[in-house]
Amino acid sequence: MGKSKVLVVGGTGYVGRRIVKASLEQGHETYVLQRPEIGLDIEKVQMLLSFKKQGAHLVEASVSDHQSLVEAVKLVDVVICTMSGVHFRSHNLLVQLKLVEAIKAAGNVKVCCISLYLYMYNML
Ligand SMILES: NC(=O)c1ccc[n+]([C@@H]2O[C@H](COP(=O)([O-])OP(=O)(O)OC[C@H]3O[C@@H](n4cnc5c(N)ncnc54)[C@H](OP(=O)(O)O)[C@@H]3O)[C@@H](O)[C@H]2O)c1
């Protein structure tokens, strides 16, 4: 199989960090979203730096800044979102829809893996 450019959203989370590791191990050009909202969360900052050391690219973008998300998504052909709290009606489901809007606006993404719920509710 060919290699992809992969953006992981939620990369410092329990699932996300494993996706980042797997993507790097499989030789994909791997991008990890770095949210300004994490501030000085030392664990997250250290994890992001360790991803960078392993060859990942850190991309600064925020779900509250549409244009920054579009620019991040334009860098890749695969987006994997491992954001927490995807349950219906939750705040983070609406946050994930902002990512979907950015993917639609960017128009270049071939594969996106967000939440089963989004497919179930036919929002994509
Ligand atoms: N853990 C499991 O065993 C498990 C099993 C099955 C399914 N899942 C599902 O997998 C998903 C991830 O679970 P997890 O356990 O990895 O969660 P987690 O450890 O809490 O990580 C989720 C990540 O989401 C990002 N995030 C949180 N709030 C955000 C916001 N407002 N805007 C943007 N990003 C935000 C953060 O990433 P950054 O700070 O890096 O941006 C955070 O590290 C969830 O939907 C969960 O239901 C988990």
Query: Residues 84-107: what's their mean pLDDT?
Result: 77
pTM above 0.75, yes or no: yes
14 burial (CB, 10 Å; 0-12 / 13-18 / 19+) is: exposed
Ligand 1 proximity of 17 Cβ (cutoff 6 Å): no
Ligand 1 atom nearest the C-alpha of 38 is: 39
Ligand 1 proximity of 14 Cβ (cutoff 6 Å): yes
Ligand 1 proximity of 98 Cβ (cutoff 6 Å): no
CATH top class, domain 5-120: alpha beta
Residue 118 has pLDDT above 50, yes or no: no
Q: Which residue has the higher pLDDT, 80 or 92?
A: 80
Query: Residues 51-72: what's their mean pLDDT?
Result: 97
Q: How far is the CA of 10 from the centre of ligand 1 (A)?
A: 6
Cβ proximity of 117 and 88 under 8 Å? yes
Residue 120 has pLDDT above 50, yes or no: no
